[in-house]
Structure 1
Amino acid sequence: MNILLWHVHGSWTTAFVQGPHTYVVPVTPGRDPDGLGRARTFAWPASVREATPGQLRDTPVDLVVLQRPHELELAERWLGGRRPGRDVPAVYLEHNAPDGDVPGTRHPCADRDDLTIVHVTHFNRLFWDCGTTRAEVVEHGIVDPGHRYTGRIGRAAVVVNEPLRRGRHTGTDLLPALAAAAPLDVFGMRTEGLADHLGLPPDRCRTADLPQHELHAAMAERRLYLHPVRWTSLGLSLLEAMHLGMPVVALATTEAVEAVPPGAGTLSTRPEVLAEAARRYLADPAAAAEDGARARQAALERYGLKRFLADWERLITEVCA
């Protein structure tokens, strides 16, 4: 089966393309957001093929995986008039929690009979108003990076992209108080200048943007994973940290309360409780390793790649029948 999807979310796509199909990703000369092509820093199999908009016109496509509202028009145009959901089976994959007037947020694909909206978390399905459109949940799956945790560096790892721009969404305002409990290593895109922005000494808040294989190694050396995110769907970095065997200290918000079971870390809506948990892990490496091992086991059971791909195969079969 040929599946057309855009390279929007590198970590999610890395898991999805491990399936048994051919995955066609658009590529443009400038590799703009609508034509990034294959990933450069993620390991994707040879079954992922690039196609220019001109090539897509004559490419057989059995399923379109839409991820952004404008891709409906883009796909129809690039596929030579074939309409997703009408002429080609299609699903709309919703990565994000809704913004704005959250209890009443209507999904862009609400009230359609030609699409299935696939949410990556049950939290997403609960908060999006999809109207009469069929809505399913396929929870995340992770390509297992292995149990690599050492925790030898007495610091907390935080993974977030654009923390200055995203602000309260990602809990950036909470970092100064948490940095007082545990020095932070913040990994992600556009993290430069974060310590100055927060008024923190450089040694309490270091930043770096690493490719995934280097990121996993760096995370696993830190004593704990800190997830101060207020509002998101479910950060894949949290699940990757659990797979690595890291204990988790996270805000008890969104889907994190389902993903992190008791004994795998500390969840709370009180930042002072998170700060105390971070101090405890810094002082007790053995307890950190024990909780991290439980976090890994829980992540393998719920967010393993085999379950993820099986769920998608079931859904693809239904949609394309």
Structure 2
Amino acid sequence: MRILLWHVHGSWTHGFVQGGHDYLIPGPPDGIGLAGRPWRAREVSLSEMDAAGADIAVVQRVDELSKVPVGVPVVYLEHNTPAAPAQEHPLAGWDGTIVHVTHFNDLMWDCGTTRTVVIEHGVVDPGPLYTGELPHAAAVINEPVRRGRIVGADLLPRFDPIDVFGIGTEEIGGEGDHELEALHRELARRRVYVHPARWTSLGLSLLEAMHIGMPVVALACTEAIRAVPAEVGAISTDVEELVSAVRELIADPALAHEKGERAREFALARYGLEAFLRNWDVLMKEVIG
């Protein structure tokens, strides 16, 4: 299958292109192309493409719809939560299919009569890297200063000592493969992963931390209540309960390792690549007809 898609969300795309198809990623001026990623994909020029060049397009931004060659079937992938539960999706009433990455997002977006499907995330397994040698918590938050309360940046001091990673922090950031591998190695050295987001789609960094084998402490908001069972760490809307859980895990390495092993088992079963790629194949074949 020849799949046209833009490089929008690097971590999500990293999983998607593992499916064994022919992936066509627009380069400048219509996209950023591979941007140095060693994916098994081809960078293409849209000006040289026609309907015969792709079997289907996976579109992730509304303005990409007008760039898809005429005659190519389209599905729209929505990564984000709405600003509020009553927000109407830009493609409400569309005659295509919107794919949501979480059940929470599907519930909260008003998509009108547009058909919606949920295909949960699939993560490339970084392996059981966890050592937990450093008695610190860790979090991955891109642009924590700008995004503030939405991602729970104001809560971070309550989990001190905590090391914050991501774009816009002093720690390792970026989405390139080398940066991602370095991030995973550094996360694995911390005792526990903290997910403090109040209102967000499900962060792939959370799922990657669980794959690594880290115990997880999370606010019980948005999709986290489905992704983080209590036995892998702690989940609550009571921040003091979460702070206590972090302290307990930092003080007890054996307990942290035990809960981290459960986190990895759960993540592999729920967010492994096999089901993710299979579900996408089923949907795309259906849309192509």
| TM-score interval for Structure 1 and Structure 2 normalised by the shorter chain | over 0.9
What SS class does the counterpart of residue 98 from structure 2 fall into? strand
Q: Say yes or no: does 1:44 pair with 2:39.
A: yes
Alignment partners' CA distance in 2, 1:39 and 1:239: 24
1:284-295 equivalences in 2 (<5 Å): 284-295=252-263
Q: Say yes or no: does 1:13 pair with 2:9.
A: no
Q: Say yes or no: does 1:188 pair with 2:166.
A: yes
1:69 to 62, 87, 103: 62
Q: Say yes or no: does 1:108 pair with 2:90.
A: yes
TM norm structure 1: 0.86
Alignment partners' CA distance in 2, 1:305 and 1:162: 28
Deviation readout 1:20-47 (Å, 9 max, x if unpaired): 2111111116xxxx5211143x5522xx
Deviation readout 1:95-142 (Å, 9 max, x if unpaired): 00001xx121111111111x1000000001000111111100000001
1:312 to 266, 280, 284: 280
Shift of 1:208: 3.0
Query: What is the letter of the counterpart of residue 216 of structure 1?
Result: H
Root-mean-square deviation (CA, aligned residues, Å) is 1.4
Alignment partners' CA distance in 2, 1:162 and 1:295: 26
What SS class does the counterpart of residue 185 from structure 2 fall into? helix
Alignment partners' CA distance in 2, 1:286 and 1:158: 21
Gaps of 5+ in 2: none
**Contact residue 152 and residue 223 of structure 1 kept, 8 A:** yes
What SS class does the counterpart of residue 187 from structure 2 fall into? helix
Alignment partners' CA distance in 1, 2:102 and 2:182: 27
> Identity of counterpart residues, as a percentage?
57
Query: What is the letter of the counterpart of residue 202 of structure 2?
Result: L
Structure 1 residue aligned with 2:172: 208
Alignment partners' CA distance in 2, 1:153 and 1:188: 19
TM norm structure 2: 0.95
Alignment partners' CA distance in 1, 2:21 and 2:172: 35
Deviation readout 1:190-243 (Å, 9 max, x if unpaired): 124xxxxxxxxxxxxxx3326101111111111011110111110000000000
Shift of 1:58: 7.6
Query: What is the letter of the counterpart of residue 109 of structure 1?
Result: L
Structure 1 residue aligned with 2:76: 92
What SS class does the counterpart of residue 148 from structure 1 fall into? coil
Query: What is the letter of the counterpart of residue 42 of structure 2?
Result: R
Gaps of 5+ in 1: 193-206
What SS class does the counterpart of residue 3 from structure 2 fall into? strand
**Contact residue 10 and residue 39 of structure 1 kept, 8 A:** no
1:114-153 equivalences in 2 (<5 Å): 115-153=96-134
Deviation readout 1:245-283 (Å, 9 max, x if unpaired): 000011000001001112101001111111111110110
**Contact residue 178 and residue 271 of structure 1 kept, 8 A:** no
